[in-house]
Amino acid sequence: MASNTEEPTLPVTPLTTFRLFPRLPLELRRCIWKFAAFEARLLELLPHADAFGRPYYLFTSSPTPVTLHVCRESRSEALAIFSKAFSIVCKFTETKQRYIWTNFSVDTIKIEQYYLRDVERGERASIRRLRVKADHPETFKDVCYPYDYEMNARA
Model pLDDT for residues 25-66, shown as the tens digit of each residue: 999 999 999 999 999 999 998 887 777 766 677 888 899 999
Tell me the C-alpha distance between 29 and 92, whole Å.
44
pLDDT digits (tens, 9 = 90+) for 77-105: 999 999 999 886 655 666 666 789 999 99
Q: For residue 87, give the nearest of 78, 95, 75, 96 by alpha carbon.
A: 96
Share of the chain above pLDDT 70, in %: 75
Q: For residue 123, give the nearest of 99, 145, 146 by alpha carbon.
A: 99
Q: Going by C-beta distance under 8 Å and a sequence separation of 6 or more, which residues neighbour residue 107?
A: 40, 41, 42, 43, 129
Q: Going by C-beta distance under 8 Å and a sequence separation of 6 or more, which residues neighbour residue 120?
A: 87
The alpha carbon of residue 43 and the mean position of all alpha carbons in its chain are separated, in whole angstroms, by 6
The residue ranges of every structural domain in the chain are 41-63+86-150
Kind of pairing between the strands at 55-59 and 100-102: unpaired
Mean pLDDT of the chain, nearest integer:
80
Q: What pLDDT, on a 0 to 100 scale, did the predictor assign at position 58?
A: 82
Q: What pLDDT, on a 0 to 100 scale, did the predictor assign at position 94?
A: 62
Q: What pLDDT, on a 0 to 100 scale, did the predictor assign at position 59?
A: 85
Report CA dihedral (137, 152, 116, 67) to the nearest 10 degrees: 130
Q: What pLDDT, on a 0 to 100 scale, did the predictor assign at position 150?
A: 46
- Strands (DSSP E) found in the chain: 42-49, 55-59, 83-85, 88-89, 96-97, 100-102, 108-112, 129-133
Q: What is the pTM of this model?
A: 0.70
